[in-house]
A = this chain, B = another copy of it.
Amino acid sequence: MDSAHDPVREQLAQARRDQILDAATAVFAEKGFHRATTREIAQAAGVAEGTIYNYFAGKDDLLIALMARLIEMERVEEELTRALESDSSRSVVSMFSDRIARIVADHAVFQAVLPAVLTDPRLRQRLNDEFLAPATAFLEQYIRARIQRGEMRPVAVPVAARLVSCLAVGVLVLRMLGDETLVSAWDSLPEVLATIVVDGLAASGCLGLEPLPG
Contacts and interface: CB of A to CB of B under 8 A. Distances in A.
A162 B204 CA distance: 25
A173 B170 contact: yes
Given A118-B115, A155-B192, A179-B128, A166 B174 contact: yes
> Interface residues of A: mostly helix, strand, loop or mixed?
helix
Interface in A96-140: 111, 114-121, 124-125, 127-128, 132, 136
State the copy count for this chain.
Answer: 4
Contact of A185 (B158, B168, B206): B158
A195 B207 contact: yes
A124 to B, nearest CB: 5
A13 interface: no
Contacts of A171: 163, 166, 170
Interface residues of A, number: 65
Interface in A156-173: 156, 158-160, 162-163, 165-171, 173
Interface of A: 31-35, 89, 111, 114-121, 124-125, 127-128, 132, 136, 155-156, 158-160, 162-163, 165-171, 173-174, 176-179, 181-182, 185, 188-189, 191-202, 204-209, 212
